[in-house]
Structure 1
Amino acid sequence: MSIATQHVLQVRDKIELSDIERRIFDRLLATVRHFNLQTQVRVAGGWVRDKLLAKDCYDIDIALDNMMGTEFVNKVKEYLVSIGEGKDVHDKGKIKPNPPRSKHLETAMMRWFDMKIDFVNLRSEEYTENSRIPSKLDSRECLVLLSMKQSFGTPEVDAYRRDLTINSLFYNIHTDSVEDFTKRGISDLKSGRIVTPLPPKATFLDDPLRVLRAIRFGIL
């Protein structure tokens, strides 16, 4: 599916962080180093899109490559307490997976410097026995028709599982760079095209509400 909007958008070449965003990301990196976690921490989705469009965004979605969100949040809180900043963080708990509503992953939430931050592992979805809705993407073959237990995904797998290419971008806080694993996110954002990373049937069957999201973005 492809929808073209009426406006060509001005897209920044590089994300410019606010002082609060930089402080948050510095503390996340310090947590990784302090516990020697070997974890890659990325920001995913709408925050990346909005920052490239020079818009303010107060919701940050953190994607982790080898840890559950709750596990990482506990490490962050432990590190902040050790440096005397624990009082700045308000733990908002976690949202459990809800497969009937295509919410397959547990999300940990926290409020930090007036920013809402969600932490979740990169997605690598499953098939169900009675469904051919693809649930794991292979970067070489696009879809892998395998039945498997849920596991940690790669950034590329996760990017293709998202609703639209403009929402599939990542910001890698280790390298201070935007990652476009579908190779279309930046160009579609610039041209105002609303495109699904996978064939539309696969994307929309995974979560039918994505149809409404695509329409909403198309008329902005």
Structure 2
Amino acid sequence: MYPRDQHPISRAAISDNALKVLYRLRDAGFRSCLVGGGVRDLLLGREPKDFDVATDAHPDDVRRLFRNCRLIGRRFRLAHVTFGREIIEVATFRAPIGAGEEDDGNVELSEDGRILRDNCYGTIEQDAWRRDFTVNALYYDIADYSVLDFTNGVKDLHEGVLRLIGNDPEQRLREDPVRMLRAVRFAAKLGLRLASEVDEALHRHADLLTTAAPARLFDEVLKLFHSGAAVTCLDELERFGLFAMMFPETADCFGHPDTGAGVRAFLVEALNNTDNRIREGLGVHPAFLYAALLWAPVQRAAQARLDAGEEPAAAWQQAASAVLERQVQRVSIPRRFGLVVREIWELQQRLPRSQGARAARLLTHPRFRAGYDFLCLRARAGQADPELCEWWTRFQDSGEARQHEAARPGAGAEESPARSRPRRRRRRKARPAS
């Protein structure tokens, strides 16, 4: 335990809503602690993205204390206490499997050792040993403002090491294969090095990731590539063979001897762009990320159809459908995002072919900006004509009248911009005199 005078955490750095939850649980006679990434980030002098609470109160107890609470989850029963747009997640202390208060019917394992359901409750010490990494098993106790450390997490944090809790990394990864992705993300985001046993376990067991639920992987991919260290995450995912487990067709395109380097250069350009937007406090859209991740497979599939003689529009539509249908078997993509991904890809075919009034109308397309940004990324990566991107940049900045009169590159050609030909006015026949 680290008393208040031996750690830098101040309540002023904790969300007011998180403090409300902590204090109300304490005042109701329950033990309540800030836990996990929020404590870790505060010890590092970082601003936490969110705050999680651990308690000995059961989920139904939490719901009785907070009218703005709802219970979620089957695998782990959690309470979400909502304050406007901020959600404070409250979890009950968990016990090792087989040692909890209410094991009967509350624990379910798959044949390969994955935890499918786990709602057996225990003490705070037991809860710490159930967590994934030592640096995430730190507790800030609101009762006396101390930091509790049962797994030497503070020591690992000071030494810059990311270590799985326990003596059997393989068992921890089998319990939850998504921990491999969390290891990559935390190491990249926090600048930590993986403990040697963790590094070796990830190399040996990358194939376990294929057993994870596609819906969970969708969220984890967003956390990885929206972490602010997206390119580092990509490098590490490839090093361990994890990227190929999630995006097999894209990984296969990376390996092409002639085009692989260009394919990867485009994705790196897109991820650098994402990191820059996050640093500047700008929004990032999940659909844009997935459009970039799957762009190479769509191009390859569309080209195969074009070579077989299919009409271009149909070839691209069928290629997009086929790639997305195969991808969701590994990483789920919600329909609302999949539709936007398709629109971004479709605009890559329309942007080089629009001119005059048609180009002006294209500016009103709800996904124009995303499609234009995607085109410019392709241009920077050498996959599209830079002049085409420059033309659209100028076209957007011109006035409405000039937009209608502006020339489009080559009337459908993707190369050199040329002035559009003015329309000839038809002469009206003279009307006979009455």
Q: How many angstroms apart in 2 are the aligned matches of 1:177 and 1:22?
A: 18
Q: How many angstroms apart in 2 are the aligned matches of 1:168 and 1:19?
A: 19
The Cα of 1:169 is off from its aligned counterpart by 0.6
The Cα of 1:134 is off from its aligned counterpart by 10
State how 1:62-141 maps to structure 2 within 5 Å: 62-65=53-56, 67-77=57-67, 91=68, 93-98=70-75, 105-112=76-83, 115-126=86-97, 133=113
Partner residue in 2 for 1:46 = 37
The Cα of 1:151 is off from its aligned counterpart by 3.3
Q: Are the structure 2 counterparts of residues 22 and 15 from structure 1 closer, same or farther at C-alpha, using a change threshold of 3 Å? A: farther
State how 1:1-220 maps to structure 2 within 5 Å: 13-18=7-12, 21=15, 24-25=18-19, 28-30=22-24, 32-33=26-27, 37-65=28-56, 67-77=57-67, 91=68, 93-98=70-75, 105-112=76-83, 115-126=86-97, 133=113, 150-182=119-151, 184-198=152-166, 199-220=168-189
Q: How many angstroms apart in 2 are the aligned matches of 1:51 and 1:18?
A: 11
Aligned residues: 172
Q: How many angstroms apart in 2 are the aligned matches of 1:155 and 1:95?
A: 21
The amino acid of 1:93's aligned partner reads: R
Contact 1:92 1:111 in 2 (8 A): yes
Q: How many angstroms apart in 1 are the aligned matches of 2:138 and 2:93?
A: 13
The Cα of 1:219 is off from its aligned counterpart by 2.6
Q: Are the structure 2 counterparts of residues 123 and 131 from structure 1 closer, same or farther at C-alpha, using a change threshold of 3 Å? A: farther
The amino acid of 1:161's aligned partner reads: R
Other structure's SS at 1:93 match:
strand
Q: How many angstroms apart in 1 are the aligned matches of 2:65 and 2:181?
A: 37
- Higher helix share goes to which structure? 2
Q: How many angstroms apart in 2 are the aligned matches of 1:134 and 1:154?
A: 23
Moved more, 126-135 or 171-180: 126-135
The amino acid of 1:168's aligned partner reads: A
Q: Which runs of 4+ in 1 moved over 6 A?
A: none
Partner residue in 2 for 1:81 = none
The Cα of 1:204 is off from its aligned counterpart by 0.9
The amino acid of 1:170's aligned partner reads: Y
What CA deviation, in whole Å up to 9, does each residue of 1:24-60 have, x standing for no partner? 4256424543xxx431001111111111112112422
Give 5+ residue unaligned stretches, structure 2: 1-5, 99-107, 190-434
Give 5+ residue unaligned stretches, structure 1: 1-11, 78-90, 99-104, 136-148
The amino acid of 2:9's aligned partner reads: I
**Superposition TM-score, scaled by structure 1 size:** 0.67
The amino acid of 1:25's aligned partner reads: L
Other structure's SS at 1:18 match:
helix
Q: Are the structure 2 counterparts of residues 73 and 60 from structure 1 closer, same or farther at C-alpha, using a change threshold of 3 Å? A: farther
Partner residue in 2 for 1:84 = none
Contact 1:42 1:172 in 2 (8 A): yes
The Cα of 1:19 is off from its aligned counterpart by 6.7
The Cα of 1:212 is off from its aligned counterpart by 1.4
Q: How many angstroms apart in 2 are the aligned matches of 1:129 and 1:219?
A: 31
Contact 2:34 2:139 in 1 (8 A): yes
The Cα of 1:94 is off from its aligned counterpart by 2.3
Q: Are the structure 2 counterparts of residues 158 and 133 from structure 1 closer, same or farther at C-alpha, using a change threshold of 3 Å? A: farther
Ranked by relative contact order (alpha carbons within 8 Å, sequence separation 6 or more), the top structure is 1
Contact 1:122 1:155 in 2 (8 A): yes
The amino acid of 1:55's aligned partner reads: R
**Superposition TM-score, scaled by structure 2 size:** 0.36
Contact 1:194 1:214 in 2 (8 A): yes
The amino acid of 1:96's aligned partner reads: G
The Cα of 1:172 is off from its aligned counterpart by 0.7
Partner residue in 1 for 2:320 = none
The Cα of 1:20 is off from its aligned counterpart by 6.2
Q: How many angstroms apart in 2 are the aligned matches of 1:72 and 1:56?
A: 26
The Cα of 1:22 is off from its aligned counterpart by 5.2
- Higher strand share goes to which structure? 1
What CA deviation, in whole Å up to 9, does each residue of 1:64-98 have, x standing for no partner? 11x22342243144xxxxxxxxxxxxx36221223
The RMSD of aligned alpha carbons is 2.9
Moved more, 43-52 or 55-64: 55-64
- Considering only CA atoms, is the larger Rg found in Structure 1 or Structure 2? 2
